[in-house]
């Protein structure tokens, strides 16, 4: 068996906050490059990319207690690593707030999901995370065409929902027809 990038899984390793984080990378037998640069931050690049390739950010855990998307993301990562899931887009997977997840709480000081605007905030845990994530997102999209950029930020409903599954599009701009 090929060596894995993870001791247990992307999710379990991310949540092991007692263990010191070390950046690591590997290439799968399919030529997919997997780079774990920070705790909970994994970039995967397929062997072939062209100008039409998509650059997709899949984030979860912005609210620490919304665990279902984290399991989903971890499973996707496992399937990419094993070669079961064939990758044709460059992706950045983010499990955003392991400390809150470990405490079974949505956030510690402030709701992280409210910190991605341009309003100034006093410094706290979530403000620092938001700053870090914004820098990562900017770096990931650097040099890519805007029409090829996607960001799927996965959440769970905390109250009973009329729809089992729904999607809210960012109000900042409208996505192209593709
Ligand atoms: Zn949420």
- How confident is the model at residue 162, as a pLDDT? 85
Spacing, Cα 31 to ligand 1 middle (Å): 34
Q: What is the mean pLDDT of residues 3-11?
A: 95
- How confident is the model at residue 172, as a pLDDT? 58
Place of tokens 């729809």: 163
- Work out the burial of residue 41: count CB atoms within 10 Å of its CB; fewer than 13 is exposed, 13-18 middle, 19 or more buried: buried
Residues ≥6 apart with Cβ < 8 Å to 58: 73, 76, 91, 92, 93, 94, 152, 154
Enter the DSSP assignment of 25.
E
Spacing, Cα 135 to ligand 1 middle (Å): 21
Q: Where in 61-162 does DSSP place strands (E)?
A: 90-95, 149-154
The angle subtended at Cα 155 by Cα 154 and Cα 156, nearest 5°, is 140
Q: Which two tokens stand for residue 39?
A: 């705790």
Spacing, Cα 138 to ligand 1 middle (Å): 22
- How confident is the model at residue 178, as a pLDDT? 44
Using one digit for the tens of pLDDT, what is the confidence trace for 83-141?
Answer: 999 999 999 999 999 999 999 999 999 999 999 888 888 899 999 999 999 999 999 99
Using one digit for the tens of pLDDT, what is the confidence trace for 22-49?
Answer: 999 999 999 999 999 999 999 999 999 9
Q: Residue 53 pLDDT more than 60?
A: yes
- How confident is the model at residue 134, as a pLDDT? 95
Q: Are 29 and 83 contacting, i.e. CB atoms less than 8 angstroms apart?
A: yes
Q: Which two tokens stand for residue 126?
A: 């979530």
Would the pTM of this model clear 0.75, i.e. be above it? yes
Spacing, Cα 48 to ligand 1 middle (Å): 34
- Which residues lie near ion ligand 1 (Cβ < 5 Å)? 63, 66, 155
Using one digit for the tens of pLDDT, what is the confidence trace for 131-168?
Answer: 999 999 999 999 999 999 999 999 998 788 888 888 88
């Amino acid at each position: 068996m090929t060596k894995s990038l993870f001791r247990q899984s992307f999710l379990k390793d991310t949540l092991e906050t007692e263990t010191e984080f070390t950046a690591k990378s590997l290439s799968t037998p399919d030529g997919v490059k997997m780079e774990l640069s920070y705790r909970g931050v994994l970039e995967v690049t397929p062997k072939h990319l062209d100008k039409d390739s998509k650059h997709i950010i899949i984030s979860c855990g912005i609210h620490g207690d919304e665990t279902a998307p984290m399991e989903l993301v971890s499973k996707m990562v496992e399937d990419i690593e094993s070669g079961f899931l064939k990758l044709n887009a460059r992706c950045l997977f983010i499990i955003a707030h392991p400390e809150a997840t470990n405490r079974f709480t949505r956030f510690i000081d402030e709701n992280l999901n409210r910190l991605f605007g341009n309003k100034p905030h006093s410094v706290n845990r979530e403000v620092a995370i938001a700053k870090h994530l914004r820098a990562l997102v900017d770096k990931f999209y650097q040099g890519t065409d805007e029409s090829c950029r996607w960001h799927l930020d996965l959440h769970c409903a905390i109250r009973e929902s009329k729809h089992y599954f729904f999607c809210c599009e960012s109000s900042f701009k409208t996505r192209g027809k593709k």
